[in-house]
Chains A and B, each alone.
Chain A
């Protein structure tokens, strides 16, 4: 019996080490072009590292049991091990500690980080409608996803005021390279704050795009818009350019 516990524990440790080697070396995320994207990826990685031993614990017992505890025929009874309460208590202590731990970090810590400080450097309006996006730049010019792209300045805290045409349906404003998203709801204005930290374009990576993430009808999949994150000077030049075109 002792031997079983030792062997299964060894198996658990080996599997956990293999799992950690895997998750600490993988790079499964697309480019992260914003402060918020890094917060999300860090939270994801932390949860993965914590998930490894939980996953391997159960898997180790499954594998060990499948190979060591066989007895075909259903005739022989196993030892009637009853729960004495100690194992259950230990299990509850560990699971409550884990759940409580992740609730604090990345839970509440991440929530507060991703919300960030109040205020914004730039305010940009976003209106969804079936099946296009309209971007309202601070200089009062509107650009739609049919003809234009979403150009954003790097290292500025941007406030998106998001809504959907009214009447229309719910859309969701999502830029995969920034990770986070917010729904566009008819009759309401929702807000999302993003600070791009690196320049990038859709041509470099298809995740640098706006994508509707809430089912909105037949054009849903193609309700997207190219995004370009540029230096501040280039952003100012872009605003002047669209103002000249619009005027």
Chain B
């Protein structure tokens, strides 16, 4: 616990110093906006140095010997630990906690929306609650799979002993708790009510809490960039002998493609948020029309990140699902090479489609056609992912364990998300559907369907590897089915209310939509309850579940060829790779992990 306490103390001291400097040098009060910004920056640095960055790393910068603070058992998770498996587990637990928290917030939203008038909240509070739900869930979707499985599995799957930059990896993770604290503390200073999209001028004019939103999200973005950098570098430089690019497990390819995006586009979100901070604090007028700025500038820069961000969320999900489908169908992944090309194409084309979020914004008319065309072009590589999924399932030997069940659900939901996405890519229908509940339903199908269901599937699939114990299969299947069924019952009606005049981000709506909304709210509550099963299953099984063998799924990829959980440096001796990762049923195919010949014998 000592590193945590030390980090907290030095974080508080850092905050005080930053806020004090701001108070003394400007007209800002101690709880004013500039003090919040400078306090957060110094507090973040104080926390990082205190938690262990100084001992493990900083000391080297001034010529001292770095100290590593070893710990065993659960204590190793509560410190600056550079083991990628520890970091993956840290991300998984953190993101699941944030997910459950943001899910509770969603339940409060649905309670408000269960009937037309103002019920639980004032309209003002509802906007703040909605904004909190939005940004927390975005964080989970961005860093859930990539942070947890990307860190835990990429080195194992490519036969490496760790990530390329282990200390940057630990640094990236430990930036997350201050981000969460800043977001959750925002209600103390007026909260933020501009949604996760934070469009100015609203986000320039609203309460001080917006400042905490901005600094927190910028810090989270930096963590995301560092994580992306690390995965890209690891895949390029750390592959075991024989692990050629064409033998990479498909999840590694997906994480690689998503990481290229994190590494290259996250800066744009940070830049747009910094511009808002400058407008608020320094009096610049990037977005204020009276000073010569324009609100449209923000929309372009913001969506330049935030549309590709959808693929940062969903590409790793595709990787997890295709991985599971191949192993549980016991067939080679269908059209592997086409999937790889599709991942990279989705990342590439996905970076140049952002203005389809702006068809109603009043941007130049000549942009509308090209952005519609590019957006619809994304459906072609995305279609290949579906071909790979159903092609692999076809005539397979399907072993319906919880991960495969969730993979089936994933395909169904991402299919609905993809198809309804076409209605939003189409210029004419988007003019109607934009900013309505149709969009809300669509992106929940895409992000919950495409990212969260894959996070759940991966959690069950790799649970034996991470914990060394088996989860309860029956409870797992009941949870998966429960979550899936009530997800449909919640969100299908929301497509309808969107078509019938309900816009998004409202606490109240027209009376005629009350019945359908009440139904959706009730179904949402039941859906939320399913997570009791999820949590109970995982917590109980982690402690009392039957001991897992090294390879309970009889899968070929490298992570299953080492003990559960894997030894500290992953492989007892440096591995080398022979056959492909998915050569199920291929006569005479060599194993994926080459048996290392005894050098003496």
On A, residues with C-beta under 8 Å from B are 1, 4, 28-30, 37, 39-40, 43-44, 47, 51, 54-55, 58-59, 61-62, 65-66, 69-83, 87-88, 91-92, 95-96, 98-99, 102-103, 106-108, 110-111, 113-115, 162, 166-170, 172, 174, 176, 179-183, 185-188, 190, 206-207, 209, 211-222
CB <8 Å contact, B362 and A40: no
Which of B328, B332, B423, B426 is A81 in contact with, Cβ under 8 Å? B332
A91 vs B386: C-alpha distance in the bound complex, in angstroms?
A: 10
Tell me the minimal C-beta distance from A214 to chain B in angstroms.
6
Contact B202 A221 (CB under 8 A): no
19 sampled A-B residue pairs with Cβ under 8 A: A47-B426, A55-B419, A65-B393, A72-B400, A80-B332, A80-B585, A83-B335, A87-B387, A91-B383, A92-B383, A102-B426, A107-B426, A110-B429, A182-B360, A183-B360, A185-B289, A206-B511, A215-B505, A221-B123
Answer whether residue B474 sits at the interface, using C-beta atoms and an 8 A cutoff: no
Q: Which one of B51-59, B83-91, B407-415 is at the A interface? A: B407-415
Contact assessment for B335 and A185 in the assembled complex, using a CB-CB cutoff below 8 Å? no
Known: A78-B331, A79-B585, A107-B376. A207 touches B501 (CB 8 A): yes
Residues on B facing A (Cβ under 8 Å)? 122-124, 127, 193-195, 197, 199-202, 205-206, 288-290, 294-296, 327-332, 334-338, 360-362, 365, 368-369, 372-373, 376-377, 379-380, 383-384, 386-387, 390-391, 393-401, 408, 411-412, 415-416, 419, 422-423, 426-429, 431-432, 434-436, 496, 499-501, 503-512, 553-554, 583-587
Given contacts A83-B338, A88-B338, A110-B427, contact A187 B294 (CB under 8 A): yes
B380, B391, B398 interface centre (most CB from chain A within 10 Å):
B398
**Chain B: CB-nearest residue to A84:** B335
Question: Which residues of chain B have C-beta atoms less than 8 A from A215's C-beta?
Answer: 127, 194-195, 197, 199, 202, 504-505
The residue of chain A having its C-beta at the shortest distance from the C-beta of B288 within the complex is: A167
Q: A58-B411, A72-B400 are in contact. Are A111 and B427 (CB under 8 A)?
A: yes
A214 to B434, CA, bound (A): 9
Of A51, A70, A211, A220, the residue contacting B123 (CB under 8 A) is: A220
Q: A44-B429, A66-B398, A185-B361 are in contact. List 11 more A-B contacts (CB 8 A).
A: A30-B499, A47-B429, A59-B412, A65-B398, A74-B554, A174-B435, A181-B360, A214-B199, A218-B124, A218-B127, A221-B506
User: Do residues A114 and B431 form an inter-chain contact, with CB atoms below 8 A?
Assistant: yes
Residues of B within 8 A of A111 (CB): 368-369, 372, 427-428
CA distance A30 to B512 in the complex (A): 11
B335 touches A71 (CB 8 A): no
In whole angstroms, how far apart are the Cα atoms of A73 and B553 in the complex?
Answer: 8
Complex-state Cα separation, A95 to B391, whole angstroms:
16
Contact across chains for A174 and B503 when beta carbons are under 8 A apart:
yes
Bound CA span A219–B123, Å: 7
A76 to B329, CA, bound (A): 9
- Shortest C-beta distance, B503 to chain A (Å), equals 5
* Distance from B387 Cβ to chain A, minimum over Cβ atoms (Å): 5
Closest beta carbon of chain A to B367's beta carbon, Å? 12
Q: Are B380 and A96 in contact (CB under 8 A)?
A: yes
Tell me if A69 and B393 are in contact (CB < 8 A): yes
> Are A180 and B432 in contact, CB atoms less than 8 angstroms apart?
yes
A40 touches B428 (CB 8 A): yes
Q: How far is the CA of A170 from the CA of B202 in the complex (A)?
A: 7
The CA of A210 and the CA of B331, in the complex, are separated in Å by 55
| Selected contact of B380 from candidates A92, A113, A183, CB within 8 Å | A92
| CB-based contact B432/A40 at 8 Å | yes
Minimum distance in angstroms from B82 CB to a CB of chain A: 34
Of A51, A72, A216, which contacts B419 at CB under 8 A?
A51
What residues of chain B lie closer than 8 Å to A95, measured between beta carbons? 379-380, 383-384
CB distance from A41 to the nearest CB of B (A): 8
Indicate if the CB atoms of A211 and B501 lie closer than 8 Å.
yes
Instruction: In the A-B complex, list the 4 residue pairs whose CB atoms are closest, starting with the nearest.
Output: A187-B289, A77-B585, A221-B506, A71-B397
**How far in angstroms is the closest Cβ of chain A from B213?**
14
Residues of A close to B500: CB separation below 8 A: 28-30, 176, 207
What is the CB-to-nearest-CB distance from B349 to chain A, in angstroms, rounded to a whole number? 12
Choice from B195, B368, B373, B396 contacting A65 with Cβ under 8 Å: B396
Q: Which of A75, A91, A222 contacts B508 (CB 8 A)?
A: A222
Q: How far is the CB of A47 from chain B (nearest CB, A)?
A: 6
Given contacts A77-B584, A91-B384, A220-B127, contact A185 B362 (CB under 8 A): yes
Complex: chain B residue closest to A178, CB-CB: B432
Known: A30-B501, A54-B419. A99 touches B289 (CB 8 A): no
Q: How far is the CB of A202 from chain B (nearest CB, A)?
A: 10
Residue on A nearest B285 in the bound complex, by CB: A167
Min CB–CB distance B177 → chain A (angstroms): 29
Contact across chains for A172 and B435 when beta carbons are under 8 A apart: yes
In the bound complex, CA of A185 to CA of B416 (Å): 33
Q: Which of B408, B415, B501, B506 contacts A206 (CB 8 A)?
A: B501
CB-CB nearest in chain B for A36: B431
Given A58-B386, A174-B503, A206-B501, are A103 and B554 neighbors across the interface (CB < 8 Å)? no
Contacts of B290 in A (CB 8 A): 166-167, 187
B289 neighbours in A (Cβ, 8 Å): 166-167, 185-188
**B residues less than 8 Å from A51 (CB atoms):** 419, 422
Residues from chain A with Cβ under 8 Å of B194 in the complex: 215
